[in-house]
Amino acid sequence: MMPAIPAEKSPVLAEPLKAPEGKALSTTAGVHLNNEGAFVADRTSDAGVAVQAEGSVNAKGTFKAEEASTTPAINEQNVAHRFSKAAAKYNSIASIQRVIAEQALANLPKALQGEALDIGCGTGIHTQALVKKGATATGVDIAKGMLAQARKMYSDPIFVQGSAVDLPFVDSAFSTVFSSMALQWVSDTHLVANEIARVLKRGGVADLAIMVAGSFNELRTARKVAQLSQADTFMPTTSHWLNGFKQSGLDLQRVITKDYIDSHSDIMALLHSVKGVGAGETGQKQPPLTRRDIKKLAMAYSNITGVGSKLPLTYRVSHFRLEKR
């Protein structure tokens, strides 16, 4: 049972509070607004490598998003269980996640005012960063284990159990909504977009870092070469999220998609890194890998990446800035 939160300390909570049922090399690709307010394709890269943005800009300067794929059902209870199991060691193994979150926090103003919400707060480290920026911060997460760690580590923020598709807060409660590397685990982008729009105040801003389709491509290709079944979590595209935000009524200020590349000493370290941060929920039951499978996968991975003794793993992340008008 979730511990009660005193009403005087949690003015933004809805009544009743509802629990859910259920190093870094980067390249950029995306779109941004120019001075005339038109979308401009951004296909630059820090390493000088061209990458393709998901979508196009038509003759009138309007961004046209690609159609999204059908999303397999992701069980929130399974996701919560995986992240709860990872909670105690999460901060020690989530190195690339820290790099991504630091970039997401840097996208926010240096000083914040009013109430701020951290969706998918995990162990609370970034919720505390919102406090340091001046906000009265609340963290929400579906994983009890993560929230237990957060409450042990930090006393300033409020930590609440809840789902991103059904946020347990009143309308127009927050001036700022922040999220880093959490929203990719939901299976309905439209519900998330609507909930963010609902809890934001008019004039409020959301800065979101969301892992999108194109992540873990090396692992997916290696599994195919090794003739192993795919076992990765389905992730919506950047365009799918853009559609959801547009339909929610949120105004898109900018979106930039970056590839963050992590590296690992061997295939087992790589697989443990994915599992250790809870990224193993696929919506389908997967057979365990045998020793022979792991050997085949290691050989395939080394052959396709060709990066000496280090195995790269790409996290493709879209950084969205949204405003509620």
pLDDT for 184-220, tens place per residue? 888 789 999 999 999 999 999 999 999 999 999 999 9
pLDDT at 31 over 50: no
309: left (phi over 0), alpha (psi -120 to 50) or beta: alpha
Q: Between 96 and 307, name the one with better pLDDT.
A: 96
Which phi and psi angles does 188 have, rounded to 5°? -140, 95
Q: What is the pLDDT of residue 146?
A: 87
State the alpha helices, DSSP H only, in 157-216.
189-199
Distance CA 51, CA 239 (A): 15
Distance CA 47, CA 67 (A): 29
Top-ranked range on mean pLDDT: pick from 192-196, 259-263, 267-271, 290-294: 192-196
204: which 2 tokens? 């409020």
Paired with 259 in beta bridges are 27, 316
In three-state secondary structure terms, 227 is coil
Q: Could you tell me the pLDDT band of residue 274, with boundaries at 50, 70 and 90?
A: confident
Distance CA 28, CA 184 (A): 19
Distance CA 102, CA 26 (A): 13
pLDDT digits (tens, 9 = 90+) for 46-94: 332 223 333 333 333 333 333 333 444 556 666 655 655 555 555 555 6
pLDDT at 26 over 70: no
Distance CA 252, CA 1 (A): 38
Q: Could you tell me the pLDDT band of residue 177, with boundaries at 50, 70 and 90?
A: very high
pLDDT digits (tens, 9 = 90+) for 102-153: 999 999 999 999 999 999 998 899 999 999 999 999 999 988 888 999 999 9
